[in-house]
Amino acid sequence: MTVVVKTFARLADAAAALSTERGARFLAGGTLVMRAVNEADPAIRTIVRSTDPSLLRIVISSGRVELGAGVTMAAILAERELAFLHPVARAVGGPAVREAATVGGNLFAPSPYGDFAAALLALDATVMLAGGFGQRELPLEEFLARRERGVSVVSGVAFQRPATEAFRFAKVTRVHPKGASVLSIAAQLPLASGRVAGARIAFGAMNRTPVRAKAAERALEGRSLDAAAIAPALAVAADGTEPADDAIASAWWRRETLPVHLRRLLLGTGLA
Amino acid sequence: MKTPIQFHLNGEEVAAFADGGANLLDVLREAVGDLSVKGGCWQGTCGTCTVLIDGRPRLSCVTLAEGCAGTSIETAAGLRRGADLHPLQTAFMERFAAQCGYCTPGMLMAAKALLDRNPRPTRENVLDAICGNICRCTGYEPIIAAILDLAGASGRRRA
């Protein structure tokens, strides 16, 4: 099937084209969209892409991190200042996928993919959208809730850099070193006087989109990270999740094993 | 509608016409005639279509051909020099790292991407480099051994 490819030097022009063309899809790294094009997905009639250099920006300033939507996992791995995100970027496919897969694309990855988006959710990231109306920002959680209803072009994400040692990530997979997630867990666990203050926990592959573990976050508040203190959080870990049955794992298995892997992550007793 | 694109392939300038939305794999095989690049899944899953674009490993099946204009692409066809096999090809042969051979072009290019950037990789480095390439014959160990053998030999030659 032949589709029309439209390339724009300015992201704003690409966003305008995307909003006016029927059957248009924005192409980032290609790992999702090109796959659909190869399968002759009739919903894709036009590929919209942009060579806007702002898509590749990595700005780290005063504790704030801003990543252009076109920043690849390989580019993150090459940036020493983003070392806390290296385990997440390394969990996305093999080297060839990491050279293509982008931050923006990962926000659209269907479950069980989208581990990077789960990490961004735990980092309380905001999503920057480009459109004819100009730039606007949305909390990532809100963006994920809306993404299947159609949103504009993502120009980047931004978040506060977590305190050293406060950010943790684990990906559970049946195929090593590369495989799709049984589930993934990202957590930001700031400590004040040895107790959790303002925890953010997000799960990948536990819902249609990455999802915050709000019940577990509440149960951890003011607690220390020891086995007895985290028990209430583990008991409610699966609250609000609706995992799928797929070729990687059953929904039952995902729910049953989630507290086990969350426990390991919180106690720092080894990767899942 | 076809779009003209130009790029360097294994050091030579080539021009081709790509269908709208065509992936690089199909253009290399059908428009350019480089049959060393294999297609397995067309989903970005199996890795046999791995090529190097500007020195970086990429899955040609999920790479938009139009986006490759002006780039330098390397495929397995460009490894040998005349009658001389590339040292990686020799190492694969000596370690029996190819059986059916279908994954081999992608494995070779994934390994080349690694060794070009890291001539003395560890076993872990090698495992990561080929983790996106599926082999259903060898059990991977001969492939890992071939890459490590070559890295060791390269190190000895430099010493």
Yes or no: say if A94 and B131 are a contact pair by the CB < 8 Å rule. Answer: yes
CA A221 to chain centre: 24
> Domains, chain B, ranges and CATH?
2-78 (3.10.20.30), 87-158 (1.10.150.120)
Q: Which amino acid is present at B159?
A: A
Using CB atoms, pick whichever of B43, B67, B131 lies closest to residue A35: B43
Task: For residue A99, give the CATH number of its domain.
Answer: 3.30.465.10
User: Is residue A252 over pLDDT 50?
Assistant: yes
Strands of chain A, DSSP E: 4-8, 24-26, 46-50, 58-61, 64-68, 126-130, 136-139, 153-160, 167-173, 181-188, 191-192, 195-196, 200-204, 211-212
Residue B8: strand pairing partners = B13, B72
Q: What angle do CA A135, A138, A142 make, to 5 degrees?
A: 150
* Cβ <8 Å between B64 and A96: no
Mean pLDDT of A225-239: 97
- What is the DSSP pairing of strand A153-160 with strand A167-173? unpaired
Confidence (pLDDT) at B134: 96
Same domain, A16 and A71: no
Residue A208: give the domain boundaries: 167-267
- A49 confidence band (pLDDT: 50, 70, 90): very high
A254 domain residue, yes or no: yes
Confidence of residue A272 (pLDDT cuts 50, 70, 90): very low
> CB neighbours of A247 closer than 8 A, spacing ≥ 6?
none
Which 3-state string (H, E, C) describes A107-150? CCCCCCCCHHHHHHHHCCCEEEEECCCCCEEEEHHHHHHHHHHC
Q: Is B127 on the interface with A (CB under 8 A)?
A: yes
User: Rounded to whole angstroms, how far apart are CA atoms A107 and A120?
Assistant: 9
- Taking CB atoms and an 8 Å limit, are B132 and A39 in contact across chains? no
Residue-wise pLDDT for B69-87, tens only, equals 999 999 999 999 999 999 9
What CATH number should be reported for the domain holding residue A238? 3.30.390.50
* ipTM of the complex in this document: 0.94
Across-strand partners of A153? Answer: A130
Same domain, A252 and A182: yes
CA distance B49 to chain A (A): 10
Q: Residues A155, A62: one domain?
A: yes
Is residue A91 domain-shared with residue A102, that is, in the same domain?
yes
B98 CB near a chain A CB, below 8 Å?
A: no
Q: B127: distance to nearest CA of chain A, Å?
A: 8
pTM of the model: 0.94
To the nearest whole Å, the CA of A96 is away from the closest chain B CA by: 4
B134 Cα to chain A: minimum distance (Å): 11
- Domain termination residue (choose one: A137, A160, A183): A160
- Whether residue A272 lies inside any domain: the answer is no
Q: Supply the pLDDT for residue A269.
A: 86
Residue tagged 């032949």 (tokens):
A2
Regarding whether A83 and A39 lie in a shared domain, the answer is no
**Is residue A143 a contact partner of residue A152, using CB atoms and an 8 Å limit?**
no
pLDDT tier for residue A131 given thresholds of 50, 70 and 90: confident
Distance CA B14, CA A35 (A): 25
**What is the per-residue pLDDT for A238?**
97
Report yes or no: B23 at the A interface, CB cutoff 8 Å.
yes
Give the residue from chain A lying closest to B129, CA to CA.
A95
Residue A112 lies in a domain: yes
Q: Is the Cβ pair B23, A38 closer than 8 Å?
A: yes
Give the per-residue pLDDT at A132. 65
Residue-wise pLDDT tens digits, A182-191: 999 999 999 9
Q: Chain A interface, mutation test: which of B52, B131, B143, B144, most A Cβ atoms within 10 Å?
A: B131
Q: How confident is the model at residue A208 (pLDDT cuts 50, 70, 90)?
A: very high
Q: What is the Cα–Cα distance from A108 to A104, expressed in whole angstroms?
A: 7
Q: What is the pLDDT of residues A61-87, one digit of tens each?
A: 999 999 999 999 999 999 999 999 999
The total number of structural domains that make up chain A:
3
Of B59, B67, B127, the CB nearest to A97: B59
User: Is the CB of B57 less than 8 angstroms away from the CB of A27?
Assistant: no
Domain presence at residue A113: yes
Q: Residue B124 — left, alpha, or beta (φ > 0 → left; ψ -120 to 50 → alpha)?
A: alpha
The three-state (H, E, C) secondary structure of A211-239, written as one string: EECHHHHHHHCCCCCCHHHHHHHHHCCCC
Mean pLDDT of A39-61: 96
pLDDT band at B158 (very low <50, low <70, confident <90, very high): very low
